[in-house]
A and B are shown apart, each in its own frame.
Chain A
Amino acid sequence: MDIPPPRPVLDPTTARVEREFKHVRPLIGCRFDPSGRFLFATAEDDSVQRFDLLTGTRTAFVGHTSWARGMAFVAPNPTAAPMDASAWQKAQAAAQSLVGFGVAALPAPKAAPFTLVTADYHGKLIWWQGDSDAPKPLKTVAAHDGYARAVAVSPDGATVASCGNDQKVKLWKAADGTAIRTLEGHESHVYNLAFHPNGTRLVSCDLKGVVKDWNLKTGKSERDLDAKILTKYDPGFMADIGGARGMAFKADGSAFAVCGITNVSNAFAGVGNPLAVTFDWDSGKAKQLKPKDAFQGTMWGVAFHPGGAVLGAGGGGQGRVWFWKGDDPASAHVLTVPANARDLALSSDGARFAIAGSNGTAYVYNFSGTGPVPQMPKKK
């Protein structure tokens, strides 16, 4: 496998499917580990699946007794350079050509150790040795009363943050899961959260579209930002829909994004439009990023590409990945993906992105521009 270096400027038209990892049950969430070697995906069978992009092997992490979606990583050196797998692949190919295919497979290089933290519907957080050949839960913490919807790790790797339906944000020591502090102030289910890259602040967003900016020194919310465009009380069904289904910070900390569904006309059929909202960190000014196509559904994941673009992925009747570039609020490019995208993962170097498919397949894309051209959305 040849992993190209990140492109200075992203060309979304070069996105191609690089790998497909099939699982027996629908997927829920996905994340690349810090090295970019593994793609982790959570599934409706309560498992966490680890897909090795180097070897193609799959490893199940079994320990949750409910669905998990939130995933985050604690790495000794999260700023380490991405894995370069090309050396092993070349050696593997050479060995096979000398002695015959499959006869003398070289052992794959060991991955650098890292910890995976996952969060589930029963409010539990589980710590795992992410690179283990036989992973088992290292520690389980009953973190929330109700669904623990998201988890994040601070830039220094010292703190894990989680949030959930008990309307709380909680901080834990990454090393051993000891409780540090509870941040209270949300008045509805907390859907997502992310650390500011400078490590001093944390943002969280709830079902009602209230974004809180937490000062981690004081434990107080410094300000509320308005993402209410991502929420609605549907009077027809008498229920709330919304919240930040995805959340991400720009690497330089100058902005963050939340995504979900807006313009809901029928909550129970999911009739609405996907939307990402970016916030300028200093001013708090919001900007809407809309798909150019008239698509109905939910945006389940959002990410800032190092090349400057914003990516969003979601689904309704079909799956989509949208790309926004520059200041244009309308998407510059749209990709039809083979299944409803229930989450979006972007590797730290921006070389790949992946979606968690509702059909049980994780699709890994690169920007090689080689291979079959992805199907474009059909015009109605």
Chain B
Amino acid sequence: MLPCNYACNTADHATTRRAFLGSAVGATAALGMAGFANPAHAAELKKAQKRVLVIFLEGGVSQLETWDPKPNTDTGGPFKAIQTSVAGTSICELLPLSAKQMHRIALVRSLNSQTDDHGVGHNVMLTGRKMEPGIVYPHLGAVSARLLGSNANALPGHIRILPKGGSGFNGADATFLGPKFASVGLGDGKPPADLFRPGNLTATEDDERDAFRKRLDQRFAKSRKSAATDAYTESFTQAERVVKQAAVFDVDKEPAKIADKYGRHDFGRHMLLARRLLEAGVTYVKVSHSNYDTHHENFDFHIEQLGEFDRPFAALLDDLADRGMLDSTLVVVMSEMGRTPRINDRYGRDHWGRAWSVALAGAGIKGGAVVGKTNANGTAIADREVWSGHLFHTYLQAVGLDSTKNFYPNERPVPIADPKAAAITEVLA
């Protein structure tokens, strides 16, 4: 039987939002929505409720075609750099709308994620840790849901919007935090097709069936409770929450004008869904955009993919700001790696983790900041090298958490973020 080796939630080791929130705002937020009857207070609390949105550019986006262009160098490729809304900061011409948002965006241009592998890079960027034997660290989404989420929330705290594929529950990303904080995956932004009650089953019959299932679960758990049974049980809870809030997942309920701003394509729809979920109280949303693994024809593919990314990203920042949510929502644009400065003989760029960039905006972020730099042709970091451990601390501190605390799975202290790294304070507001 698998042990329940996640944080036990006992009073001694309850790693609550209250304990982690480092500011007065955090302490207020920890009271929970139910503690405020006054709508004005509720609105304030809604603003104070911190959220995290990760936009993950799958495959490894090129830093030279995004945040760290090197035009007219041997590695620069054909594109030019354009001026942004921040004097002295230029980004690639493929992001003209993002350039107008640069006063809200901070760039880290000196990331060495120390891997050129898709799977390892994905894990390293989302856990802030090098992979180690004997322990699997939870992803940022699970950590965020655990430390920022509210028990009162009617929606899952950790949602991944995937470009395609099936939807499902219990992503293997919460590890020792437990299945309650595991991700719910929405393939193409849609809940699982078979989630809703079939038409030939009455509500009463459905309730009876569910009650029977719960009785069996409870009886089984008395003698054979395990992480696997907990995950199984939690998946029904997650599904129940999704069903009850089905309208939140329907982007067609958005005004056409808003949908137009995000762009009438899949990624635009997914980004709009992300905003709806965050607005409805989901703590962490990860939207993946596919794909940037451009070993061949890097430039044509980046024209196409970034053309699709740029508008929804800029629209989202505007939308969050218009709704008063940007100050409470951390937005991170990351990838599992960057791409080689060297252009190969097929006009491609290959895997590269040694010197690339991440963009941040929103909660706790100093818009317009640029930290670190690469050399003239982007082949090495020239200043302020950081790795994903530094970023992980930065994300948590940006939303008001103390990233130096511990979790306690199996009574053992496990630092929330890698103690060998620290936050990149230059990008924190």
Out of A45, A165, A315, name the residue touching B345 (CB < 8 Å).
Answer: A315
A316 contacts B346, C-beta separation under 8 Å: yes
Chain B residues numbered 48-62 whose CB sits less than 8 Å from any CB in chain A: 59
B-chain residues with CB within 8 Å of residue A146 when the two chains form the complex: 303
B80 contacts A45, C-beta separation under 8 Å: no
Interface residue total, chain B, C-beta cutoff 8 A: 28
Complex interface: stretch among A109-117, A262-270, A275-283? A262-270
Tell me the complex Cα distance, A297–B296, Å: 10
A252 CB to closest chain B CB, in angstroms? 33
Complex interface: stretch among A88-96, A238-246, A303-311? A238-246
Out of A65, A235, A238, A297, name the residue touching B80 (CB < 8 Å).
Answer: A65
A38 interface residue (CB < 8 Å to B): no
B78 contacts A239, C-beta separation under 8 Å: no
Interface centre among A67, A235, A268, A315 (most CB of B within 10 A): A268
B72 interface residue (CB < 8 Å to A): yes
| Residue interface mask A22-50, B partner, CB < 8 A = 1 | 00011000000000000000001110000
With A65-B80, A66-B80, A238-B164 known to touch, is A269 a contact of B303 (CB < 8 Å)? no
A122 interface residue (CB < 8 Å to B): yes
* Chain B interface main SS type: loop
Tell me the complex Cα distance, A315–B344, Å: 12
B79 contacts A66, C-beta separation under 8 Å: yes
B348 interface residue (CB < 8 Å to A): yes
Tell me the complex Cα distance, A324–B304, Å: 34
Closest to B267 in A: A238
With A65-B72, A359-B345 known to touch, is A268 a contact of B78 (CB < 8 Å)? no
A-chain residues with CB within 8 Å of residue B304 when the two chains form the complex: 239-240
Closest to A238 in B: B290
B343 contacts A241, C-beta separation under 8 Å: no
A-chain residues with CB within 8 Å of residue B80 when the two chains form the complex: 65-66, 122
B350 CB to closest chain A CB, in angstroms? 10
A-chain residues with CB within 8 Å of residue B303 when the two chains form the complex: 146-147, 165, 189
Tell me the complex Cα distance, A165–B304, Å: 10
B-chain residues with CB within 8 Å of residue A270 when the two chains form the complex: 295-297, 346, 348
B-chain residues with CB within 8 Å of residue A25 when the two chains form the complex: 74
Chain B residues numbered 265-321 whose CB sits less than 8 Å from any CB in chain A: 266, 290-291, 293-297, 299-301, 303-305
A-chain residues with CB within 8 Å of residue B71 when the two chains form the complex: 65-66
| Residue interface mask A233-262, B partner, CB < 8 A = 1 | 001111111000000000000000000000
B59 contacts A268, C-beta separation under 8 Å: yes
Tell me the complex Cα distance, A153–B77, Å: 27
A-chain residues with CB within 8 Å of residue B187 when the two chains form the complex: none
B163 interface residue (CB < 8 Å to A): yes
Tell me the complex Cα distance, A88–B78, Å: 40
Chain B residues numbered 355-379 whose CB sits less than 8 Å from any CB in chain A: none
Tell me the complex Cα distance, A98–B226, Å: 99
Tell me the complex Cα distance, A246–B78, Å: 19
A-chain residues with CB within 8 Å of residue B59 when the two chains form the complex: 237, 268
B293 contacts A268, C-beta separation under 8 Å: yes
A239 contacts B301, C-beta separation under 8 Å: yes
Tell me the complex Cα distance, A339–B291, Å: 28
Q: A66-B78, A237-B290 are in contact. List 5 more A-B contacts (CB 8 A).
A: A239-B291, A241-B300, A267-B297, A268-B295, A269-B296
Can you show 26 pairs from A to B with CB atoms below 8 A apart? A26-B343, A46-B72, A66-B71, A66-B78, A66-B79, A67-B77, A121-B78, A121-B299, A147-B303, A189-B303, A235-B164, A237-B291, A237-B293, A238-B163, A239-B305, A267-B296, A268-B293, A268-B348, A269-B295, A270-B295, A315-B345, A315-B346, A316-B346, A340-B345, A340-B346, A358-B345
Q: A residues engaging B (CB < 8 A)? A: 25-26, 44-46, 65-67, 120-122, 146-147, 165, 189, 235-241, 267-270, 297-298, 315-316, 339-340, 358-359
Closest 9 CB pairs of A and B: A270-B296, A358-B345, A121-B78, A67-B78, A237-B291, A340-B345, A238-B290, A66-B78, A268-B293
